[in-house]
Amino acid sequence: MPRLGAIFYTLDERCGSSLRNFPRGGFFRSNEKKKYLNNQDLLTQLQLSHERGAMTPELGRMFLKLVEKISKRPNWCGYTYLEEMQSTALINLCAVWQKFDMTKTNPFAYFTTCVTHSFLQELGRQKKQQHVKELIAEAYGLPTSFAHHESAS
């Protein structure tokens, strides 16, 4: 029968979690969290991209990680058109990466703000489109959503 500590150690290796093995078989969760993006790597990739005149593949992967992570936040994850929001944000990031001021040291904040604003813009577009659909359905006597009835009164 394996020691309890050995089981935790095996699970730690296999799952890649942050559980650590103690000699007596106990474990604790380490405070070291691996960040999915950091400012220094992002700044380095931006400098390389500016030198090349084109976005590096690594910078593209970083943008993809950023958009995916932000889209998993509770205020965005429930929307049915989340993929449209993500694609709009990626297109926006590809358009504005050259506008980042290289004298600044926090590209993460800049691009996070860009993604958030892209999500809000797409949300506004989708709401306008939904409103038009509701007006057309109402004009033809078709059933409309409850939200449309609330806004009409």
Q: Residues 111-147: pLDDT tens digits?
A: 999 999 999 999 999 999 999 999 998 888 888 776 6
Q: What is the pLDDT of residue 52?
A: 95
Amino acid at 62: M
| Phi, psi at 20, each rounded to 5° | -120, 145
- Write the Ramachandran bin of 32: left for phi over 0, alpha for psi from -120 to 50, otherwise beta: beta
Identify whether the C-beta of residue 38 lies closer than 8 Å to the C-beta of residue 112: no
Integer Cα distance of 118 and 152 in angstroms: 28
pLDDT at 145: 74
Mean pLDDT of the chain, nearest integer: 82
The pTM of the full predicted model, rounded to 2 decimals, is 0.71
SS3 20: strand
